[in-house]
């Protein structure tokens, strides 16, 4: 509140109430998902049948918990594998992009920069189908030429990784560029004057400076990949990542198992997010 500006009590009350309602709206869906993970019933809905841990640790039908449900565990593994690949790839390319745009002036730089931003304004489904179409064109071309069937170009994990990489790289580039712009280049020049070669100077001076942004970008990329749905939906093969596996189950009707998976997801991602915030606060 700006103290010098008079506001009536009623106005402040109504305003405060509105903001409180807004946060209730934000919290409501997540809270019910979390609460019904503990409902001792086959359905994540009322009536409340009592408290149970079975949807986490249950071993027998009909209440098999997350930790004993093979399908879900396998999907978590698939998602984690995809997310690690996407995070490493996109932060790697994001770093080289940041150096390119920060250190070099060349013809067409402006155009390339706008192209680099484009993946953010292309709908995820369209990104997915364009990559699907192109990879199958390639696969068909190879078949016509050499009668070879390249499985990697058919829907599956490689395409999922490439599809997510294609837009998460833009975000990694932006995060790392923002930090690189704050770098004092005289530090690097000092290293050069002291006899280091270019590569050593970058490796020992610039990269450590960039590390917080790079770690932040790794976590953001990991989370975005883990949660991605639209692009993945178009490119997925027989190994379904977690979001797709959950979507398939949700369509068939839900049990509180989905709530317990969701609750674990919420806890996992908030923990990761918190870690990043703490890490970046460190001087």
Q: Does 279 bind another protein (CB under 8 A)?
A: no
Helices (H), the chain: 9-35, 54-57, 70-103, 109-117, 124-146, 157-180, 185-193, 198-201, 207-227, 230-235, 242-252, 256-281
Q: Which C-beta is closer to another protein: that of 59 or that of 134?
A: 134
Nearest to 173 by CA among 88, 97, 280, 85: 97
x/- map, 154-173, another protein, by CB under 8 A? --------xx-xx--x----
Q: Which C-beta is closer to another protein: that of 190 or that of 266?
A: 266
Q: Does 207 bind another protein (CB under 8 A)?
A: no
x/- map, 32-51, another protein, by CB under 8 A? xx--x------xxxx-----
- What is the smallest separation between the CB atom of 197 and another protein, expressed in angstroms? 9
Q: Which C-beta is closer to another protein: that of 64 or that of 116?
A: 116
Sign for the CA dihedral angle at 63, 68, 69, 73 comes to: positive
Interface positions, 49-88, toward another protein (CB under 8 A): none
Interface residue with another protein among 57, 69, 81, 130 (CB under 8 A) is 130
Rounded CA-CA distance 207/60 in Å is: 51
Interface positions, 218-277, toward another protein (CB under 8 A): 223, 226-227, 229-230, 233-234, 243, 246-247, 250, 254, 258-259, 262, 265-266, 269-270, 272-273
Q: What is the DSSP string of 13-50?
A: HHHHHHHHHHHHHHHHHHHHHHHGGGBSSSSSSSSP--
Interface residue with another protein among 80, 84, 88, 93 (CB under 8 A) is 93
Q: Report, in angstroms and rounded to the nearest whole number, the Rg of the chain calculated over CA atoms.
A: 24
Q: Does 100 bind another protein (CB under 8 A)?
A: yes
- What is the smallest separation between the CB atom of 93 and another protein, expressed in angstroms? 5
Q: Does 111 bind another protein (CB under 8 A)?
A: no
- 106 HSE (CA, 13 A, CB side): 9
Rounded CA-CA distance 283/281 in Å is: 6
Interface residue with another protein among 10, 18, 186, 208 (CB under 8 A) is 18
């Amino acid at each position: 509140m700006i103290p010098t500006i008079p506001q009536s009590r009623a106005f402040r009350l109504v305003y405060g109430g509105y903001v409180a309602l807004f946060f209730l709206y934000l919290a409501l869906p997540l809270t019910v998902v979390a609460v019904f993970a503990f409902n001792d019933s086959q359905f994540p809905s009322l009536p409340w049948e009592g408290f149970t841990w079975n949807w986490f640790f249950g071993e027998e039908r009909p209440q098999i918990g997350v930790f004993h449900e093979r399908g879900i565990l396998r999907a978590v593994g698939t998602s984690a594998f995809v997310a690690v690949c996407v995070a490493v790839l996109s932060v790697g390319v994001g770093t080289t992009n940041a150096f390119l745009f920060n250190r070099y002036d060349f013809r067409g730089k402006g155009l390339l920069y706008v192209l680099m931003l484009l993946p953010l304004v292309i709908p995820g489904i369209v990104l997915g189908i364009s990559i699907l179409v192109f990879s199958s064109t390639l696969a068909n071309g190879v078949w016509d030429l050499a009668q070879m069937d390249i499985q990697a170009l058919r829907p599956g994990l490689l395409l999922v990784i490439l599809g997510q990489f294609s837009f998460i790289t833009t975000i990694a580039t932006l995060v790392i560029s923002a930090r690189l712009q704050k770098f004092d280049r005289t530090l690097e020049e000092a290293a050069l004057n002291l006899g280091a070669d270019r590569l050593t100077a970058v490796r020992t001076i610039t990269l450590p400076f960039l590390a917080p942004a790079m770690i932040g970008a790794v976590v953001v990329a990991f989370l975005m990949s883990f949660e991605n749905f639209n692009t993945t939906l178009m490119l997925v093969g027989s190994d379904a990542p977690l979001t797709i596996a959950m979507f398939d189950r949700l369509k068939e009707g839900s049990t509180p198992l989905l709530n317990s998976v969701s609750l674990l997801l919420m806890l996992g991602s908030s923990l990761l997010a918190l870690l990043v915030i703490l890490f970046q606060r460190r001087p």
